[in-house]
Amino acid sequence: MNWLFRYANPHNFMRLSNVLLPITVVATVLCLGVGLYLGFTAPPDYQQGRTVLIMFIHVPAVTVAELAYGAIVVCSLLSIVWRHPLSDIAGRAAAPLGAMFTVLGMITGALWGRPMWGTFWAWDPRLTSFLLLLFLYIGYMALWNAIEDEVRAARAAAMLALVGAVNIPIIKFSVEWWSSLHQGESIVSGKLAPVFLAPLLIMMLGYALLFASLWMLRIRTVILERRARSLMQRSAA
Amino acid sequence: MSPFLTLLARDIRLASRSGGSAFLALSFFALVATLVPLGVGADLRLLARVGGGVLWVGAVLAALLSLDRLFQGDFEDGSLDLIALSPLPLELTALAKMLAHWLSTGAALTLLSPLLALLFNLTPAATLTLFLSLLLGTPAVSAVGAIGASLTLSLKRGGLILPLIILPLLSPAVIFGAGAVSLTLDRLAPGGALGLLAAFSAGAVLLSPFAAAASVRLNLGG
């Protein structure tokens, strides 16, 4: 566990991210570039035609949207159990990113749904549970912003994220029970042709790296803001 | 009387006296049930179709009205500090407050629901299912709501943010509750849906006193 707590110290995190951030930014650009090139040069699907291209920007977005909630949950656990100070900042910084990827996934999904299903929106289990996930993000961010005392806000938001984490499997199950149009997954089960699979996986990696870069950047910004504030207070005193 | 029962009786008395929430919640519930036919039209077949869902959503919203005061009033006048110092564990305090909230809103709404089901032209079997589903499901609303109330108790305008954070968490209760009514209308057995609803409720009532007590502590401690 020691390595985890070394980065509870913002100073150590700043040094690490200073080295990591340029690497992840370059890797993001490379992955997204190669992924998009391979995607656009892939042959049209025999059923979906060119709209299959939307998959390369849609599927990674929803995957990262889910991952981001997972990241918040891990940060919340660290924050509640060990009072890990950096994880408070990290959880807060991940939420708007997760919400953004959720919205991106919903918009690209709607643009794909219109030609393929004939409708922008359907009350299908996956779509519905993503809409609920978006509301969970909004609620988490709203609670953070509503409580003025930062320490209390952090712990309250962490508690909410953990309650949400317990509830998410139940929500998923209940929504599945409630109705069932979206195709099942086709990556793990090997139903996806390799010419589509390769760009999709590269795009997924690219999106994940994009999330990681933006996340680090946001955490760094908060730490720098705090430093600036304490410097100003010190010079005023 | 044990501290638990004293607290329970006190909270129920507060809810039933002037400015209390019980009557307001019932009126709000009836008002929602009146406005929906005005909005969607008076077609009795359509109303029967949507009745279960509308009454479920109405009941959840009505139960929300008084939730933000669950801990807030006691927090503001300092009695929550005294209650926290008493020998009663904070978890049981949270449970007593949840129970008082349920008795003054959820249980009352459940009792009113057959009357409103008449307005929605629900069949007797569907009315019974609605009644049972509200009876089984509204404890979950009070339980999950208590977590939200404890997280927002220090907020001046907690009433605005509370629905935002707990309504997504309550979606399974609405799905199973209204789903059971729809199954009955389609002449299918609602037992599965009611069972899932009861399981959701039981889990929520079991776990939420701990989450609520933890966040009350967080707000009381420095």
Q: Dump pLDDT digits (tens) for A17-54.
A: 888 999 999 999 999 999 888 888 877 776 777 777 88
Q: Is A146 within 8 Å of B161 when comparing Cβ atoms?
A: yes
| pLDDT above 70 as % of chain B | 97
Type of residue found at B202: A
Q: How far apart are the C-alpha atoms of A175 and A154, rounded to whole Å?
A: 30
Q: Is A164 within 8 Å of B152 when comparing Cβ atoms?
A: no
Looking at residue B102, its pLDDT comes to 94
Nearest CA in chain B to A156: B151
**Alpha carbon distances (Å) from B23 to A46, B28, B126, B142, B158:** 62, 9, 26, 17, 21
Q: How far apart are the C-alpha atoms of B183 and B192, rounded to whole Å?
A: 10
Neighbours of A102 (CB within 10 A): 25
Nearest CA in chain A to B174: A174
Looking at residue A177, its pLDDT comes to 80
Exposure class string for A148-186: b at 16+ Cβ within 10 A, else e: eeeebbbbbbbbbbbbbbebbebbbbbbebbeeeeeeee
Looking at residue B56, its pLDDT comes to 95
Nearest-by-Cβ selection for B211 from A132, A163, A170:
A163
**Alpha carbon distances (Å) from A36 to A108, B194, B197:** 15, 48, 45
Name chain A contacts of B206, Cβ cutoff 8 Å: none
Residue B57: CB partners within 8 Å, gap ≥ 6? B32, B174, B178
Name chain A contacts of B165, Cβ cutoff 8 Å: 139-140, 142-143, 160
Residue B132: CA atoms inside 13 Å, Cβ hemisphere, count? Answer: 20
Tokens at residue A154, please?
Answer: 């952090």
Exposure class string for B135-171: b at 16+ Cβ within 10 A, else e: bbbbbbbbbbbbbbbbbbbbbeebbebbbbbbbbbbb
Strand partners, A45: A49
Looking at residue B59, its pLDDT comes to 95
Q: Is A170 within 8 Å of B176 when comparing Cβ atoms?
A: no
Mean pLDDT of A128-153: 90
pLDDT confidence band for A181 (50 / 70 / 90)? very low
What is the residue-wise DSSP string for B6-73?
HHHHHHHHHHHSTT-HHHHHHHHHHHHHHHHHHHH---HHHHHHHHHHHHHHHHHHHHHTTTTHHHHH
> Running DSSP on this structure, what letter comes out for residue A162?
H
Q: Which of A108, A31, A97, A88 is nearest to A65 (CA)?
A: A97
Exposed / middle / buried, residue A19 (Cβ in 10 Å: 0-12, 13-18, 19+): exposed
Tokens at residue B113, please?
Answer: 């629901």
Nearest-by-Cβ selection for B169 from A138, A152, A163:
A163
Range of the domain at B97: 3-220
H-assigned helices in B41-157: 44-64, 69-76, 79-85, 90-101, 107-119, 124-151
Q: Which of residues 124-183 of B touch A (CB under 8 A)?
A: 144, 147, 151-152, 154-155, 157-158, 161, 164-165, 167-169, 171-172, 175-176, 179
Residue, of A218 and B41, whose pLDDT is higher: A218
Q: What is the ipTM of this complex?
A: 0.86
Total structural domains in chain B?
Answer: 1
Per-residue pLDDT tens digits for B105-163: 999 999 999 999 999 999 999 999 999 999 999 999 999 999 999 999 888 776 789 99
Tokens at residue A194, please?
Answer: 């390799």
Per-residue pLDDT tens digits for A44-102: 776 777 777 888 889 899 999 999 999 999 999 998 888 888 888 899 999 999 999 99
pLDDT confidence band for B60 (50 / 70 / 90)? very high
Chain B interface disruption, residue of A148, A159, A162, most B CBs within 10 A: A159
> How many pairs of residues across A and B have Cβ atoms under 8 Å apart?
78
Q: How far apart are the C-alpha atoms of A177 and A210, rounded to whole Å?
A: 34
Name chain B contacts of A152, Cβ cutoff 8 Å: 154, 218-219
